[in-house]
Amino acid sequence: MTHSKHKVVIFLGPPGAGKGTQAARLAEEQHLTQISTGDILRDHVRRGTELGQQVKPMLDAGQLVPDPILIALIRDRLAGMDNIRVIFDGFPRTTPQAQALDVLLEELGAPVNAVPLLEVPDQILIDRIVERGRQAAAQGQTARSDDNEETARKRQQVYREQTQPLIDYYAGRGHLYTVDGVGSMDEVYARITGGMKPQSS
């Protein structure tokens, strides 16, 4: 049984690593749909669906939406696709979410193909984020409050604490490969696509 028509990619990487940009390019070139749980939630709220009505008060109150609801939203989104060709960026964030997503994908016959982990040394990430703040200030824009070194360091630390279990989980399942995130956009992109081995099932 082949899953060649399906492709599921899960992007991992710290803030400032350029995940969003690379995910967007990969989506375009490999005809994948970027799945953002935030976008799906907002869409359901806008359409006033049953799930939307359930999550609206949580979003309004700034609460996290429980995992079973997130998985139901993703199931709803994926079940409507003929070929499940997707990139997840920003989900899953925890091991229970990853496990629930695996169960769902197996049910749909579209297991995870690849989990690229963008790796960039902390100091470079922090320099990038601070530089972004500097450029905004130079253009007369208000720098984002998180574009300073102290906040950037804190975000890296939180990211590592939260994501390490996910890294271990996907490494244990043989899906993870690390990508050197230092270099030009094209160089990093070539490393990402080069690491995607054809599925041998």
Residues 85-138: tens digit of each pLDDT? 999 988 898 899 999 999 999 999 999 999 999 999 999 999 988 888 888 889
In angstroms, the Cα distances linking 77 to 102, 146, 171 are 15, 32, 26
Mean pLDDT calculated for residue range 39-45? 90
pTM for the model: 0.82
Q: pLDDT by residue (tens digit) across 147-195?
A: 788 888 888 888 888 889 999 999 999 999 999 999 999 999 999 999 9
**Residue in 19, 77, 85, 191 annotated catalytic:** 19
Quote the CA–CA distance of 153 and 101 in Å, as a whole number: 30
62 is in an annotated binding site: no
199 is in an annotated binding site: no
CB-neighbour burial class of residue 78 (10 A; exposed 0-12, middle 13-18, buried 19+): buried
Catalytic annotation on 191? no
Tell the CATH topology of 7-194. Answer: Rossmann fold (3.40.50)
Q: What residues form DSSP beta bridges with 33?
A: 86
Residue 58 has pLDDT above 50, yes or no: yes
Residue 144 has pLDDT above 70, yes or no: no
Q: In the prediction, which pLDDT does 7 show?
A: 94
95 is in an annotated binding site: no
Instruction: Take residue 195 and report the two structure tokens written for it.
Output: 């690491």
**Residue in 46, 144, 160, 173 annotated catalytic:** 144
Is the separation of the CB atoms in 8 and 112 below 8 Å?
yes
- Residue spans of the domains in the chain: they are 7-194
Mapping DSSP to helix (H, G, I), strand (E, B) and coil, where does residue 188 land? helix
